[in-house]
Structure 1
Amino acid sequence: LWNFFKALILRWCILYFEVSQHFLKEICQTYTNRIYFATIYDQEHRIPISSAYLYNKGGKNCGSDSWFLEAMNLKNKSMMEEPRVTTEEQKKSQAVSEDDKNIYHYDQGHLSPCMHHTDEGKKIAMFTLTNVVPEFKELKNKEWSHYENQEMEKFEKGCYKTHVIVGVVRGENIKKK
């Protein structure tokens, strides 16, 4: 799945969104030394472009009190809890919580939402800042929420495994508060 996903997304990103391949980072999202999903990440704009994962209806009980940083430029291979004060080194390679705090009418939207997973470790792994994008609150709370919850169940019916590839279109007109 990873090789297919990588080839498809890299070709697609460069062709349609003029994203320089130089800034794209392939991430195997790892928590407690276990890989849970794959992400193509734009380090220049500090936003995930696309993620791939296996869907399993996970139900409720999603949420984490903590956000995690991906270990892509750190010595440890697993993501780590975001410190209260992030360093410039961390900000060079990925999003940090303060990036989205002052964006008007937006909320953090997960590319790979925790309700699509049954494993508790995988649910926690969804709370990495390399898995979230600014998403219109209205869209997140209505149409997209319906899609994430009800529509995905329809796609899964009759399938042994459901592979999901989801991506974003990065906007240029995000308004700050």
Structure 2
Amino acid sequence: MVSCVTERAQPLAWVLVVVMVEAEVQENYSLCRECMYMGTTPLRLEDKSLKQICQRYNGKPCFVTLFDTLGHIPVYSAYTFKCSDGTKKVNVPWMYEPQLSTVSDFGEMQPFPQGDLHRSFEDAQAVLEDYSNTVNFQRGHLNPDEHQSDPNDKAATYTLTNVVPQVREFNIGPWKTHEHTTRRRLNNYCRGTAFVVTGVTTSGNTIHRHNIDRVAVPIYLCSGLLLHRLRPQRAL
């Protein structure tokens, strides 16, 4: 059964989808199995540019991402919701993903290095400069920090492999409302684990830097929720 709610915001729109899918357990995600229902990944898309990442921070697996190394954005992030008061993590530096770098031995996200060292991995992922010179877009989370309670889990959401370009009015308007509403409802009604997958579709538009296509711009953002148990006699 699929239920959809759609609201348009130029040039982005969001779709809330509740859906169950079958998938295979992928070896790359083995450390992040607890982030997914029954340890299974969403149905995998087949493309050489798509990389599966178990997003880790401070030695802890936090969530999983399917990342597009050509568009330099996540196709989706999958995570478990934690009851939260909505407080945002402050003073967290933006991070990159060494697992997408061919010159790094780190197995978990790291703060962006000083100087020009980011040029060694910017072919496969976005860097801070891609967002610093654009006035139309903000960094929009797929796994938002307000859906997490542990400080490390909140901090882990601040990686560029977990964000996509969003028009400012959309990011602080419909999408922010969607994140808040989801948090309040899951806090109130979900007794067990809530599994969330949030992903995007793109239209071919990109953020440019030095006249080069750098970051794909989504046209739709979609959230899928799978709830283990609801509180008795309550419905979302």
Please give the range of the TM-score, normalised by the shorter of the 2 chains: 0.7 to 0.9
Aligned to 1:145: 176
Matched, 1:51 2:71: no
2:188 pairs with 1:162: no
1:119 is the counterpart of 2:150:
yes
Matches within 5 A, 1:58-73: 58=84, 59-72=86-99, 73=101
Q: Structure 1: which 5+ runs fail to align?
A: 15-20
CA deviations 1:24-61 (Å, max 9, x no partner) are 11000011111100000001111111010001133213
Distance in 1, matches of 2:91 and 2:204, equals: 29
SS in 1 for 2:132: coil
Provide the rounded CA distance (Å) in 2 between the counterparts of 1:130 and 1:45.
11
- Secondary structure, counterpart of 1:127 in structure 2: coil
Comparing 154-163 with 124-133, which one deviates more in the overlay? Answer: 154-163
1:71 deviates by 1.8
Unaligned 5+ segments in structure 2 are: 1-35, 210-236
The alignment yields a C-alpha RMSD, in angstroms, of 2.1
Superposed CA deviations along residues 91-141 of structure 1, whole A, max 9, x for unmatched, are 022111111223342100011010000010011111111011101111111
- List 4+ stretches of structure 1 deviating above 3 A: 174-177
Bigger mean CA offset, 166-175 vs 63-72: 166-175
| Contact 1:64–1:127 under 8 Å retained in 2 | no
Q: How many residues align?
A: 167
Q: Match of 1:171, as an amino acid?
A: S
Relative to its length, the structure with more helix (as a share) is 1
2:107 corresponds to 1:80: no
Structure with higher strand content: 2
Could you tell me which amino acid in structure 1 is paired with residue 94 of structure 2?
W
**TM, length-normalised to structure 2:** 0.65
Greater mean deviation of Cα atoms: 145-154 or 121-130: 145-154
Q: Which residue is equivalent to 1:107?
A: 138
Residue type at the aligned position of 2:200? V
> Residues of 1 paired with 2:192 and 2:201: CA distance?
30
